[in-house]
Amino acid sequence: MTKEEFFKIEHQVCHAKMTQAVDYLIKIELFTLLAIGAIYAWYPKYIQEGQGATVPTWIVLWIPFLFSLIAVVRSTMQRKYIGAVSEYLADLEAEVSPFSSVGWETWYDKNKPKRWNEFYRRVLWPTFILGTFSLAVLGTFLPQVQHAS
């Protein structure tokens, strides 16, 4: 195997890994949103039917918050992995490209929509965390305040 063949195979494998990692990242976001929505849609029926005797209702309200925390950690791991693979691919492109170090990763690093990506990351997960935490705290402590008065 020549150096060029190695770099070509390595480039293809890394692109496939990155595509898969981006797919996982999208699924993390989607499944977290669906799970949180499903729990909040089911919760009123749960308390209405009086099933709170088996599991305290306040515990149910903390589940979306835990999902959000886990999703934040997992998506951060995926983004770091994608960044590492991207840097490696840019290095491969610099090594092999006959076009003076221009390849997709090199080009995209300079031209990616940074503002929207940053906005999305800074708004999506904090909204999930703050929203689910607020509802959990309200659901846990508000009933106790109402009973005390």
Nearest of 2, 7, 22 to residue 90 by alpha carbon: 7
Whole-model pTM: value is 0.76
Placement of tokens 């009933």 in the chain: 143
pLDDT, tens digit, for every residue of 52-103? 557 777 788 899 999 999 999 999 999 899 889 988 888 887 777 666 656 7
| Vertex 120 angle, CA 32 and 126, to 5° | 60
